[in-house]
Chains A and B, each alone.
Chain A
Amino acid sequence: MSGRIDRVALLAVPGLAYLAVIYALPLLMLLAKSIQTAEGISFSEYRAFFADDYNIRVLLRTLRVAALTTLLALIFAYPTAFVMSRAKGPWLTVFLVAMVLPMSLGVVVKAFAWSILFRANGFINSSLQWIGLTEKPVRMLFTETALVVGAANVFLPFMVLPIYAVVRQMDRALPEAAASLGAGPFFRFFNVTLPLTLPGVVAGSAFTFSMAISMYVIPSLIVGERQQTLSMLIARSFLYLRNEPLGSTISAVLLGIAIFVVVFSSWLARRLGARS
C-alpha cells in the first residue's frame, strides 16, 4: 500500500475518533473502575452485586419492564408500519411527521403527560368510569403497567421505522402469489409476510429493548423510587452513595446486557435476512 490512504475511508475518521474519545475511552475507564479495589484487581464488586437479593430483584424488574415495553411497542408498531407502507402522498407525510415529531419532545414532558393521564381523576380513569368499566378510580400511577405503557409510547418510533423500512421494500407479489396458490390469510401472514419482515422486527426490538433497559427519566417520574431500575441504581451509586466501584459494576452489567442484545439481534437479523 502506498503512503496515500483511501479518501472514502477517511470519512469515517471523525465519527470513529469522536466515538473513541467520547464513548469507548470512558467505557473502558468505567469497566476498569469496576474491577479496581483497594486490594488490587478483583471481581468482588460483581460478586457483591449478584449476592444481594435487592439487586437481583432490580435486575429482573429492569429486564421484565424492557421486555414488556418492547412487546407492547411491537404490537402497536407492526400494523402501523404496514399502514405507512401503503400510504402515499400527503398521508405518508402525515404518518412520518407523526412518528418523528414526538421525538423532538423531551422525555420529561412525555413522562409528565403520562403521569397526568394516569391520575385518579385523569383522563383514563375518568373514561373507564364513564363507560362503566370501573366504579372507582383504579390506581395506575406508580405502577409497572403505567411504566410499560409510558415507555412504549416514548420508544414507539424506534420500533415503527425499522419495520416500515423493511415492509416498504417487501415484494408485495409474494403474499399475492401465496394467495393465488390457495394459502389463507393466516398461512400467508405466518409463512410469507412475517418471515419477510422479521429483520425489521428484530432491528426495531433491539433498538427499543436497548433503550428501555437503560431508561432513567421515565421510571424516575412514572414509578418513583420504590420500583428502582438498574439505571436508577447507577445514579444512586455515583451521586448519593458515592460508591464508584458499585456504580461502575452495575453500568458494566447493563452494558453487557445491551451488547448481548445488539450482537444477538444482528446475528438473528443476518440469519433471518439470509433465509428470507
Chain B
Amino acid sequence: MTQSKTEGLTRRSLLRTSAMVAVGTLSAPSILRAQSSEIVIGCAGSHTAWMEQLVAPHMKKAIGADILFEGTKSSVNLEKMSSNKDAPYLSVVQMDDPVMIQAVEADLLNPITAGAVPNMTDLRPDAVHMDGMWCNYVQPWAGVAYNTDYSDGVPTWAALWDPANAGQVIIPSLQNTEGMWTLFVAAMLGSGKPFSEAQYEIDAAFAKLEELKPNLLSVYSTMSQAFNLLEQGEISMLAGNFSSYTLPRKGEGVPVDLAAPKEGIFAMPSGICLVKGGPNPELAEAYVNEMLGAEMQAAIADFATSVPANTTVTAGAVIPEGVPIYSPDWAFVAKNRRAWIERFDKLMAL
C-alpha cells in the first residue's frame, strides 16, 4: 500500500482532533457561562408565568442578572441538585419545604445570611427555616378549586367524597406537595381528630382515601392538564389547588374559584435557597435578596395572589377568614413521604 503524506489521516491525528473537538464542545457552555451575568434558577413549573413577566425584567434592572428559569417540580429540582452536586449549574432553587429538608440532609444548600441577604431580616420569623438554610418568600393558600358552572362553592372537604360527585374529582399525586393536603384532610375526616393530631394518623388517611376512589376521574402529577380539565368542565373539583394558580385564572374570567372549606385550608410552603457551590454566588445572593425585598414581594404577592413573607409589605392574597390555616409537620412528611407515595400509588391503581 502506498502512502501519501498529503492525504494521510492517521489514528493519532484523528484521535487528537476528535479529543480537541470533544473537549471544546463539552467545555464551551461552562467557559462561556463562567464569567457571564447569567444565573440559572430552578423553580416550580406553575411559577413560570410570573417568573418571566415580573422577576426576569426586575433582576436585569436591579442586579444586572440574566435569569434563566427551569420550571419543574420540587422533587425534580432536588434530583438536579443531587445529580450535579460536584458541579452544580443551578445557583438558586425555589421549591417546597419538605423537599428543602431533604436538600439540607443531602448537604446541597448554603445558608442564607443577613449579611449577604439583608432583606431576610424583614421576613416573618416562621418564614426562616433551619437557621437560614432556606426562607419562604411567598405563601399561597390551598383549598379546593371548583368549576363555578357546577356549584357555588365547596363548603366542606367531605364534598369530595359525596356520591353525587362520582367521576368528577381529580386529586394530586403525593409526588406533588399539594397532594399532601388531600391526605391530611382524609386523616382528619377518617380519624375525627383535629389536624394537629390527625396529621400523624396516616392509616386512617389511607382508609378514607380508599373511599374516595369511586369519585376520582384521575390522579395527576402534571397540574396544568388537570386544571385545564376543571376549566373545561370535565371535572367539577380539583383538590388541593392553591391561590397562586386558581385565583389569577378566575381573574381572567375563567369559570373557576378556590373554596376554603370549613375544616381548614393549608399554607403552601414556597421556599427559596442558595445552591451549595452554585455558579455566580454573589449574584445568587443578590437575586435572593431582591426576591425577599419589598418591591418584588409586593409584585409577586399581587400577581400570584399569595401572602408575602416580608412584614413590611401589605399586598397580595387575603387569607380567608373564619377557617383555620394549617402548616403540617414537614419533618414528619419528609421522613415518610417515599413510603406514602408507594402506598398511595398502589391504593389508587386501576
Question: A-side interface residues toward B, CB under 8 Å?
Answer: 2-5, 7, 10, 13-14, 17, 54, 57, 112, 115, 119-121, 139, 141-142, 220-221, 223-228, 236, 238-243
Say whether A2 contacts B342, CB under 8 Å.
Answer: no
Over the window 4-34 of chain B, the binary record of Cβ atoms lying under 8 Å from chain A Cβ atoms (1 yes, 0 no) is: 0000111100100010001000000000000
- What are 28 A-B pairs at a CB distance below 8 A? A4-B10, A5-B11, A10-B9, A13-B14, A17-B22, A54-B346, A54-B349, A57-B349, A112-B225, A119-B229, A121-B234, A141-B218, A141-B229, A220-B221, A221-B225, A224-B218, A224-B219, A224-B221, A225-B219, A225-B221, A225-B345, A226-B348, A226-B349, A227-B350, A228-B349, A241-B338, A242-B79, A242-B338
Is B40 close to A, CB under 8 A? no
A240 close to B18 (CB less than 8 A):
no
- Does residue B173 face the partner (Cβ distance < 8 Å to A)? yes
Given A4-B10, A54-B346, A115-B225, verify A240-B234 contact (CB < 8 Å): no
Q: How many residues of B contact A (CB 8 A)?
A: 39
Top-10 shortest CB links A-B: A224-B218, A225-B219, A240-B175, A142-B218, A241-B338, A225-B173, A226-B350, A54-B346, A2-B1, A239-B75
Contact B18 A13 (CB under 8 A): yes
Contacts of A240 in B (CB 8 A): 75, 175, 338, 341
Report the Cα distance A225→B179, complex, angstroms. 12
Q: How far is the CA of A121 from the CA of B234 in the complex (A)?
A: 8
Return the CB mask of B69-82 against A: 1 if under 8 Å, else 0. Answer: 00001011011001
Residues on the B chain within 8 Å of A115, using CB: 225, 229
Q: Once the chains are docked, how many angstroms separate the CA of A184 from the CA of B253?
A: 64
C-alpha gap A238/B14 in the complex (Å):
38
Q: How far is the CB of B27 from chain A (nearest CB, A)?
A: 14
On B, residues with C-beta under 8 Å from A are 1, 3, 8-11, 14, 18, 22, 73, 75-76, 78-79, 82, 102, 167, 173, 175, 216-222, 225, 229, 232-234, 338, 341-342, 345-346, 348-350
Instruction: Let me know if A220 and B234 touch, CB within 8 A.
Output: no
The docked-state distance in angstroms from the alpha carbon of A14 to that of B348 is 47
The smallest C-beta distance from B67 to any residue of chain A, in angstroms, reads 24
Is B345 a contact partner of A236 (Cβ separation < 8 A)?
yes
Supplied contacts A4-B10, A221-B225, A226-B348, 8 more A-B pairs, CB within 8 Å: A4-B3, A57-B349, A139-B167, A225-B220, A226-B219, A228-B345, A236-B341, A236-B345
Report the minimal beta-carbon distance from B229 to chain A, rounded to whole angstroms. 8
Query: Are B79 and A119 closer than 8 Å at their CB atoms?
Result: no
Contacts of B220 in A (CB 8 A): 224-225
- For B221, what are the chain A residues with a Cβ–Cβ distance below 8 Å? 220, 224-225
- Complex Cα distance, B338 from A77, in Å, reads 43
Question: Which residues of A have CB within 8 Å of B175?
Answer: 225, 236, 239-240
Contact B225 A225 (CB under 8 A): no
